[in-house]
Amino acid sequence: MTATEYVILVNEQDQPIGIAEKLDAHEKNLLHRAFSVFIFRRQGDVLELLLQQRALHKYHSPGLWTNTCCSHPRPGEAMIAAGERRLREEMGLAVALKEAGQFHYNAHFSNGLSENEIDHVLVGTITPEDKIKPNAEEVHAYRWVTVKELRRELEASPEQFTPWLAKALEIVMLFTVSS
């Protein structure tokens, strides 16, 4: 983080109640709004999900594997617009997103920080021809997996993944089945 970033504080119904500095929200376990983006592509008959490994200098969950992109909307910014903005900034992808659902989670990290978020799950698709241009400040590595492979890895080695990934994935799967 270079400039001071702010998050939208919310109540349990995801209604805005104020703003806070991002680091302050994570230090004080303040409930705030966030999003998780999942990008898919079809390779022949196989549907693949784009994962990113978080940059090694992130102040929480460094080096862990997670969904394609995750962040927080800025005060006054629409959720879809925020997801599309961060996807361009983190992965160099311009993709139209749809909201699949949302969930609340509260995770505490060994460095004393926490995530207490209402997480909006956003979904989009690209073609195999689309080029990924990861931002090294945000992304250490990326890879494609099938949902079946990811579920197997989450079960075998949950410590290699962010705490929100499994729940967000279930929201995505419910959305793709119903749409």
Please say if 70 is a catalytic residue: yes
For the chain, report the end-to-end CA distance as a whole number of angstroms: 37
Catalytic residue chosen out of the listed positions 48, 84, 90, 117: 117
- 114-126/98-108 β-pairing: antiparallel
**CA-to-CA distance for 134 and 75, rounded, in angstroms?**
25
How many Å separate Cα 6 from the centre of its chain? Answer: 17
Catalytic residue chosen out of the listed positions 70, 90, 115, 138: 70
**CA-to-CA distance for 59 and 143, rounded, in angstroms?**
22
For the CA atoms of 50, 142, 78, 4, what is the dihedral angle to 10 degrees? 170
Residues classed as catalytic: 70, 117
